[in-house]
Amino acid sequence: TMSSIFSYQSAEVDWCEGNFERSTVIAEYYNTPGRALQTSISCPSPYRRLVLTLSRVEMQTGSLQLSFLLAGIFSVYFHMTLSYVGQLLDELSILWTLTVAYSFWYPRAYFPRCIQSRKHFFWLTGVTTVISTLMSFIKPAFNAYVLNCIAFHLLYLTWRELKKCDDKRVHRTAAAMVVCWALAISSWISDRWLCGLWQAISFPYFHSFWHVLIAMSLLYCCPLVIYFDVNYEMPSFKPKIGYWPSDSWPVGVPYVALEEPRKRC
């Protein structure tokens, strides 16, 4: 019924953290703020403010950050209630966020042969996402595994691009992204498959670690994708990865600066 799918703990998925142990309103007390922190890290990052004002890049980053924000809100709602509707909103918002990212930033060089333009690719990703959305209602619990597998395709594309790039900052950013992602996916798998162990030692909080670590991975991933996109789509500009607050710091938040080459007389 309509009321049951909105009710607390009606979702097919329940993470390792105990429910309502520290609050009578919030089901997963640590996963909920962990997801909120993930959203705050992903959305107002310095690379958004420091990118050169250019309509195409601004439109893309703005659209993607709006998608991140909505995904964050829906996920917070899910972890607060563990409701069936919350689970669907959480997983489908991630799916559509990935659609936005792929639609804007998937390199033309990797388009299928049947796709002749970015407009055609928009239609392909849109139709695929609509079909995936409808299939999500059949077995929502399976969605999370499928969504995580998409990361392997992204890592494959990154590897192919790195083979053509000798910029040390780009390789440094990619390495940081992979390390954060590896730690994140390890935390996610540990929470799902080793829950009994973590509950036995009273430390069932690895899913909250996943939220923070995957947000850190996105901080490195998004500028990296923008860097490659500029190389493909705006060859008159020279992209450069910098680090906030300082390039000399061993750890920093990456951003993309666009430098227009000087014209020769």
Supply the DSSP string of 46-82, one letter for each residue.
Answer: HHHHHS---HHHHHHHHHHHHHHHHHHHHHHHHHHH-
Per the annotation, does 15 bind a ligand?
yes
In contact, 87 and 31? CB cutoff 8 Å: no
Q: For residue range 76-100, what is the model confidence (pLDDT) as tens digits?
A: 899 999 999 999 998 888 888 888 8
Per the annotation, does 244 bind a ligand?
no
Quote the pLDDT of residue 261: 60
Quote the pLDDT of residue 48: 43
The DSSP H or E segment spanning 237 is none
DSSP state of 108: G
Q: For residue range 31-46, what is the model confidence (pLDDT) as tens digits?
A: 887 666 665 555 544 4
Per the annotation, does 171 bind a ligand?
no
Per the annotation, does 31 bind a ligand?
no
Residue 261 sits at φ, ψ, to 5 deg, of: -65, 145
pTM of structure: 0.84
Residue 55 sits at φ, ψ, to 5 deg, of: -55, -45
Per the annotation, does 96 bind a ligand?
no
Residue ranges and CATH numbers for the domains of the chain are: 33-259 (1.20.1070)
> What residues contact 174, with CB distance under 8 A and at least 6 apart?
158, 162, 220, 224
Per the annotation, does 79 bind a ligand?
yes
Per the annotation, does 21 bind a ligand?
no
The DSSP H or E segment spanning 92 is helix 84-105
Per the annotation, does 153 bind a ligand?
no
